[in-house]
Amino acid sequence: MASQEYTLPESCQDAPLMKDWVEAEGEGEAAETCKPCVLPVAAAWYIETLDENNLGDRARALETFSQQESITPLQLAEELDNIKAQVDPNLRLRFRELDCTIQVNAAGMSAELGGANG
């Protein structure tokens, strides 16, 4: 099965790296946004996508990494960025879209997950 070329949606072209997004201090965000709350969701999406692309070893490594109690949100964000840098360009674009989705919907996801104020 030939891999299709993936195109990043225009609305996500300027989405920051996850590390940069986590470090940004609430710029233009709803007060209820809890970035640390949504990073595990991003990690789960990455793991699922890695598995779907026959990168199970990489998925298991991320799963193990993300479940360590000592991992900070910034470290998890950096790991997601590292994964993007190491995969093929089409998969990199797919991960950038996942990042964008998390960033755009973080406030609503935070509320659903019982975020900062829940």
Q: Is residue 16 part of a domain?
A: no
Q: Is residue 118 part of a domain?
A: no
- Cα separation of 116 and 111, whole Å? 8
Q: Is residue 87 part of a domain?
A: yes
Which residue range is the domain that position 87 belongs to? 34-112
Residue 113's pLDDT is 72
**What's the pLDDT tens digit per position in 19-60?**
999 998 766 666 567 888 899 999 999 999 999 999 999 999
Give how many domains the chain has, as a whole number.
Answer: 1
Alpha-helical runs (H) found in 1-118: 18-23, 35-52, 56-66, 73-86, 89-112
Q: Is residue 4 part of a domain?
A: no
Q: Is residue 57 part of a domain?
A: yes
Average pLDDT over residues 67-84: 96
Q: Is residue 5 part of a domain?
A: no
Q: Is residue 61 part of a domain?
A: yes
Lowest mean pLDDT among 31-35, 71-75, 99-103: 31-35
Residue 104's pLDDT is 87
